[in-house]
Amino acid sequence: MLLIVIAISLVQIASITIGLFVYGFAENVENRYLKEGIDTETIEERWHEDASHLEQISEEVIQQHFAKWKEDFPEATMFWVDGSGILREKIGSNHDIPTEWSARETASFIKSRYDGDPFTVIALMEESDGFIVFEIPREALQLPMQSVYDHYGDILIIGLLSIVLLFIIVSFLFFHRIRKRLLHLQEAMEIRDVDGLPLAIPVKKKDEIGQLEQTFNQMVDELRKSKQREQEEERLRKELIANLSHDLRTPLTKLRAQSYSISKMDQGAEWNKAIQQLEVSIKDMDRLIENLMSYTLLTASKYQIKRKEIDIVRYVREHLATWYPVFEKEGFEINIDLQPLDSSYWEVDPVWISRIIDNVLQNILRHTKEGKYVEVKTKTTETYDALLFNDKGDGIDKGSDYSGAGIGLSIIDMMVQGLNLDWEIHSSNNGTTVKIIKYHKK
């Protein structure tokens, strides 16, 4: 900002200096005509008045008249043309005056001199005596400032333009450096380190941009510390889930064994119903623990994946056979329509694809018992093949008595991405559709 103020001040000082120089130079230029109050109107009036007082026109009278005016106006040119159109007398530096004048030449001369330069006054005398002419350069009657401008105007304009051009060049260089540093800062903001955060940049100057760079470095440092805290919290959370899952497995195994032993005892219908409900709760807890373990391993990138090419339609049909009894027990209507796909062979991990299917079916069983309907079918288009799972429940957004924290859906999402597949889920009051998609290779 200081540099900008200095640059603007220098331009103003230079302009004022040039103006004072011109004014001072003009003050030193004296114009005695203006000093004596003589202007074009005064000259015209006096010339006509003196011409009207001339008597017995002769060369001697005209010479005396011209000599008198020459003393007062040294720059002037005067001449006399008699009644026959002959140049009789001339005084001054104008050598382009014709020696013979016709009416046409006289009219042309008057027309060319009208409001022109030099300033011309023509006084008509008697017809036989002709006319006398007075001419003086208009520059001799100009203001000193106008005279200076006429002589040095081009130089002054060039000087001012040079100062302005110099200011523009200096400003361009100055702002170009600022823009270059700002672009460097912008590029630094776009570059990412291995941890996905911007890199700190060196602070070379302690100006406004340097302060901006320093603030940017402080922000990067705070972001890095925040991410480190977040990673540490995530690590602790994963360890907590893993340890909790492991610790729950031991008493859960004991509960299952004890419930099996109790179920062998015949204590009546109510007793057996309570034991069945206990087994259902144990199975739900077992699935929850399994999901917690899977989620922890997936987020830590420790869930092993073993890809191989399988007939996906055949594999899904065989896997669904294990779910028939479960849905039949709950009274579901089951509709299976697995038609061949354009590319039935998918390169996936069978364990992972089984977990995806299991989680989808578990969600249907847990959230859509009211609909009592499950459909699994295939779909093929020009761009993809897909597995579709449909139900007629109230939608997963409605929730149920068995709603969890959405870990099952998170596991589906991570596993689908890990298998280089895609998936979509559409849920409404009329049911939910889950689509597992494999796009065709281009």
- Report the chain (442 residues): mean pLDDT per 10 consecutive residues: 66 67 54 69 88 84 89 89 88 82 86 85 83 86 63 70 79 79 78 76 79 84 85 74 61 63 66 66 66 67 81 92 86 91 89 88 79 92 92 68 58 88 89 92 75
Do 326 and 429 sit in the same domain of this protein?
yes
The whole-model pTM stands at: 0.42
The bridge status of strand 422-428 relative to strand 131-136 is unpaired
Q: Which residues pair with 192 in a beta bridge?
A: 198
Domain stops at, among 297, 330, 360: 297
Determine the pLDDT at residue 40.
83
Do 64 and 117 sit in the same domain of this protein?
yes
Is residue 199 assigned to a domain? no
Is residue 12 assigned to a domain? yes
Residues 6+ apart with CB under 8 A from 21: none
Counting the structural domains of the chain, the total is 4
CA-closest candidate to residue 337, choices 386, 409, 393: 386
Domain holding 129, by residue range, is 32-141
Q: Which residue has 């320093």 as its token pair? A: 214
Buried/exposed 267-296: b ≥16 CB within 10 Å, e otherwise = eeeeeeeebeebeeebeebbbbbbbbbbbb
**Domain holding 271: CATH number?**
1.10.287.130
Do 217 and 267 sit in the same domain of this protein?
yes
Do 20 and 165 sit in the same domain of this protein?
yes
Residue 220 and residue 200 in contact, taking contact as beta carbons nearer than 8 Å:
yes
- Could you give the CA distance from residue 44 to residue 119 in angstroms, rounded to a whole number? 10
Is residue 270 assigned to a domain? yes
Do 137 and 148 sit in the same domain of this protein?
no
Do 36 and 87 sit in the same domain of this protein?
yes
Do 252 and 360 sit in the same domain of this protein?
no
Is residue 195 assigned to a domain? no
Q: Per 3-state DSSP, what percentage of the chain is helix, strand, and coil (rounded to 5)?
A: 60, 15, 25
Do 156 and 133 sit in the same domain of this protein?
no
Domain stops at, among 265, 297, 329: 297
Q: Which helix (H) or strand (E) holds 255?
A: helix 208-263
Do 276 and 312 sit in the same domain of this protein?
no
Do 86 and 121 sit in the same domain of this protein?
yes
* CA–centroid distance for 432 within its chain: 43
Residue 370 and residue 394 in contact, taking contact as beta carbons nearer than 8 Å:
yes
Q: Which H, E and C letters describe 267-306, residue by residue?
A: CCHHHHHHHHHHHHHHHHHHHHHHHHHHHHHHHCCCCCCC
CA-closest candidate to residue 327, choices 376, 359, 378, 361: 361
Do 431 and 350 sit in the same domain of this protein?
yes
Determine the pLDDT at residue 205.
78
Determine the pLDDT at residue 421.
92
Cβ atoms < 10 Å from Cβ of 85: 15
Q: Which H, E and C letters describe 173-207, residue by residue?
A: HHHHHHHHHHHHHHHHHHCECCCCCECCCCCCCCC
Do 19 and 151 sit in the same domain of this protein?
yes
